[in-house]
Structure 1
Amino acid sequence: MKSSSRMDRRTFLRASGVAIGLPFLDAMMPLRASGAQQAALKSPRRMVLIGQPLGMYGPNFFPEKAGKDYVASRYLKNLEGMRDRFTVFSGMSHRYAAGHFAEVGIFTGVAPEFIRDKDIKNGISLDQEVASHIGNQTRFRCLNLGGGDVTWNKRGVRIPAEQRATQVFRKLFIAGTPEEEARELQRVKDGQSILDDVGDQIRSLNRKVGTNDRERLDLFLTSVREAEQSLQQDEHWSTTPKPKVEYQTPNNDFGGPQLIERSRQWYDIVHLALQTDSTRVMTLWLGTQERPEIDGVNLGHHDASHHGQDPGKLEQLALIEEAEVKVFGEFIEKMKATKEGDQSLLDHTGVLYTSNLGNSSSHDNNNLPIILAGGTFKHQGHLAYDTKNNMLMSNLFVRMLHHMNIEAQTFGASNGIVSEV
């Protein structure tokens, strides 16, 4: 069923203190748009870079066999339903020397001689390069979330990340005077929905649009409510005492012990920001060094990751990393289920999932865990390079720029392009 009226692509649902951008609807298509114009409107290119600080245990992450018919590893079994929508890479890195400091170069990919302990000469990160080309097309040129030292401008200056999901939710959906914003945010924390303020507008909109648009609106509104519930849970955890364990809290806190629920919260925010076309470029840095809230885990994440091949610690680490990959899988499944034009949000979004460490136990930065999902890529299952003489990850970044319709020849320390995908 076609809608009987047209609406602007930037239509908002508005009330006092509330401004909610809508996902792309058929009713937003210009009546006389050409085929090429329709395709461009329905399928804007997007990119999300996701990282974490403590790597992945290789034998549980990488498949043994290359190609599309690989046998899924312990961790990748959690992504089996999405097998045709991602590629896992082995034998790829930036070739940095061992050490945690390599985090700063994970998305910039500058040459190893510029990323040394206590001597960092960084370049622009991939997200900021993309934002410099397309950032003016959306409300936010780029969103950098979670934490980490992974986002850098063209002068090599670090750009701080937004570490509070509440503040990002406010940026996306709450607009007004400081008093109105505070009131709306408190209502969400108290269990009320910002959608209550625009209920009449939603009902009016549903009468004007076709069946497909109503289904998209329903999915979108469900996502908003899920994000609100996550914020309510976040408020609960902020006032709940942490468990006492035999573990010394590290100086660097990458998000607290609520690793999985906090990750889900951030993934919900990323999904909503993309769904509303609030931005088309995002970074998300996840993780905790404390003991995460996972059944069977009684060690801190940092302690388990520095396992020294101890079987007990390796199993603890596997439980943590398995849960991390599972929640990532939930995110890309939700992206695939979100229709945008004739395809899905995942079809239009290149999602990179990685870490600055290959083996955290030895602080080794080679053979990084890398998954590339969605987008316009020709996914290859398991793409295996030389685990001793690694393929430069910057070559993959050049390919990701091409996905964003940016015809770059080089990026970072690249010496070619990953053309297989």
Structure 2
Amino acid sequence: MRKSLSRRTVLRGVGTAIALPLLDAMSPTRLLSAASPKSDTPLRMAFFYVPNGAHMPDWKPKEAGFKFDLPPTLNVIAKHKEKFNVLSGLTLDGARAHGDGGGDHARSVAAFLTGAHPRKTNGADIQNGISVDQATAQYVGDQTRFASLELGLEASAQAGNCDSGYSCAYASNMSWRGPTNPMAKETNPGTLFDRLFAGSTVKETRQAKTAREKYRKSVLDFALEDAKQLHASLPAVDKRKLDEYLYSIRDVEKRLNGAERLRLNEDGVPDYPRPSGVPKELDKHSELMMDMITLAMQTDSSRIISFMFTNAGSNRSYKQIGVNEGHHELSHHGKSAHKQEQIAKINRYHIERFGYLLERLSGVYEGERTLLENSMIVYGSGISDGDRHNHDDLPILLAGSAGGRIKTGRHIEFKNGTPMCNLYVWMMQQMGAKAEKFGDSNGVLKLT
């Protein structure tokens, strides 16, 4: 029996530490059955938030169970229908006013992962609850390089008045380490790249970054010898996996740097610098962040991720899909057919971006399952209809089969008013957290 390769093996170079994907050599005796949820493959959880609710007639399927037709919004990810469940009836009571008046957008984000009702203030006395990602990270975060990753396409703010007297801290952060500690998002894909592939010391990392930029080198140049030695010792199937993984790193670097064509140095490694900056095009920005999420999961750098497409109440326009008006403005449609049509376009655009991630995760195999199958990923909003500002019967998807623990390809209708946190208790339990209650939960969601 050949010796098992450590799951924590990394390719090292000056200022570089490239974590590896799951290889067969890391568990040579593993017999993983696609029908069994028990394996040594880690489970991941992630949360994706979109603002301003959804055009529900184009979102919610009419039929329940396995035999349902995808409505127009979800039809853009029809090829992945068997890989996710649509969940209806889930509710965020904490996002409701409860006597506090306006501010549904800020409350919807603040409550989305906490289930709490945030204190209405635009001062320093913010008060929310711990979010499910951070609560889970307290149990399993020490098993990875990063206990959790907080990401998005718009920067976080920690002060200011963003929604009817609610602090911008509520409107722009969905992850909370504690009642007064929002976790700011990383929006720069180049900075995230550095975090994932940084060396063991700050000094080494800075020196390597300077050298890469000066000599237009890839992070792989610095770990080339390690990569060659490992490649030579691997079985054929792992050599292919390693090659595909390293190529994906090269591809991300190239696209982030804006290089138009691949230039190879004498060792056959792409010759371009570490990427930097935030792309101006939303398509490019979102795809690169989804690529980073895939790499983070694939290398087991983190098993817990949160992602905000935009901040609460975003009034961004989407001219690239023919929507010139602001998103928030359109969400107050007043039953205008034109505005509802435009909202539906934005919804389809967001779910299409999410579909890109599903495609990437579906292409990475870990034993008999894909990275997507070994995940449970929540996608949705803390508002249902943007015009009504209601927080019941939310637009929610749950992608991935949680390592074979649930069957996908269903529309599951729960009783309207079922706490969203009931889902979170179930997810925490699957991750190994000892949780019987979270937020405003009153039970555990039944998904089997």
> Given the superposition, is the C-alpha separation of residues 307 and 261 from structure 1 closer, same or farther in structure 2, using an over 3 Å criterion?
farther
Equivalent position of 2:14 in the other structure: 16
Identity rate, percent: 32
Task: Name stretches of at least 5 consecutive residues in structure 2 with no aligned partner.
Answer: 98-103, 157-171, 260-272
Query: How far has the Cα of 1:370 moved from its partner?
Result: 0.5
Equivalent position of 2:232 in the other structure: 207
Give a deviation string over 1:268-324, Cα, whole Å, max 9, x none.
111111111111111111126322352322223333333333233323222222121
Amino acid at match of 1:60: D
Question: Are 1:352 and 2:378 counterparts?
Answer: yes
Equivalent position of 1:245 in the other structure: none
What aligned pairs does 1:26-175 form with structure 2 within 5 A after superposition? Answer: 26-29=24-27, 42-95=40-93, 96-97=95-96, 99-102=104-107, 103-110=109-116, 114-115=117-118, 117-118=120-121, 121-146=127-152, 147=156, 148-175=172-199
Query: How far has the Cα of 1:256 moved from its partner?
Result: 9.2
Query: How far has the Cα of 1:97 moved from its partner?
Result: 1.6
- The answer to whether the 8 Å contact 1:5/1:208 transfers is no
Match of 2:443 among 408, 416, 419: 416
Match of 2:286 among 263, 268, 273: 263
Query: How big is the alpha-carbon RMSD for the aligned residues of Structure 1 and Structure 2?
Result: 3.0
Name the CA distance, whole Å, in 2 between partners of 1:184 and 1:359: 51
Give a deviation string over 1:110-145, Cα, whole Å, max 9, x none.
3xxx33543964221100111000111111111111
Name the CA distance, whole Å, in 2 between partners of 1:117 and 1:64: 37
Equivalent position of 1:402 in the other structure: 429
Indicate the larger mover: 316-325 or 358-367: 358-367
Equivalent position of 1:385 in the other structure: 414
- The answer to whether the 8 Å contact 2:218/2:253 transfers is yes
> Given the superposition, is the C-alpha separation of residues 393 and 122 from structure 1 closer, same or farther in structure 2, using an over 3 Å criterion?
same
Equivalent position of 1:247 in the other structure: none
Amino acid at match of 2:424: F
Name the CA distance, whole Å, in 2 between partners of 1:209 and 1:48: 31
> Given the superposition, is the C-alpha separation of residues 35 and 204 from structure 1 closer, same or farther in structure 2, using an over 3 Å criterion?
same
Name the CA distance, whole Å, in 1 between partners of 2:176 and 2:321: 37
Q: Secondary structure at the match of 1:391?
A: strand
Name the CA distance, whole Å, in 1 between partners of 2:258 and 2:389: 34
Equivalent position of 1:252 in the other structure: none
> Given the superposition, is the C-alpha separation of residues 229 and 298 from structure 1 closer, same or farther in structure 2, using an over 3 Å criterion?
farther
> Given the superposition, is the C-alpha separation of residues 41 and 231 from structure 1 closer, same or farther in structure 2, using an over 3 Å criterion?
farther
Name the CA distance, whole Å, in 2 between partners of 1:184 and 1:306: 51
Equivalent position of 2:357 in the other structure: 331
Amino acid at match of 1:97: R
Equivalent position of 2:222 in the other structure: 197
- The answer to whether the 8 Å contact 2:68/2:410 transfers is yes
Question: How many residues matched?
Answer: 394
Q: Secondary structure at the match of 1:346?
A: coil
TM-score, normalization by structure 1: 0.84
Name the CA distance, whole Å, in 2 between partners of 1:319 and 1:226: 30
> Given the superposition, is the C-alpha separation of residues 100 and 306 from structure 1 closer, same or farther in structure 2, using an over 3 Å criterion?
same
Amino acid at match of 1:47: M
